[in-house]
Amino acid sequence: MHDSVMDQVMINGFAAEFTIADKAYDADEIVAIVLNQDSVPVIPSRSNRPSGSTTMHLYKERHLSSFFLQNQRVQTHRNAI
């Protein structure tokens, strides 16, 4: 089973202004779920699909949230030792 099948189940019901995902999740079904939740999909287009999103500056800044979450995980681990 491809990850995107499970992700359709996981993102259903979550509210967010923007939904940021990698290009592997550029599928009509996932984009439709995101749009039905009144969220803006920020997903780079695969090479075989037309370019769609004008919010790619948000995708380029996704590393900030990744860094924050990784930093929190390291601090939590250090506090547990």
Which backbone phi and psi does 24 adopt, to 5 degrees?
A: -65, -20
Residue 12 above 70 pLDDT?
A: yes
- pLDDT by residue (tens digit) across 37-73? 999 888 887 777 766 555 777 777 777 777 777 776 6
Residue 77 above 80 pLDDT?
A: no
End-to-end Cα distance, the chain: 37
Which among 55, 47, 40 has a CA at the least distance from the CA of 23?
47
Residue 17 above 80 pLDDT?
A: yes
Task: Provide the whole-model pTM.
Answer: 0.60
Q: Is 70 exposed, middle or buried (0-12, 13-18, 19+ CB in 10 A)?
A: exposed
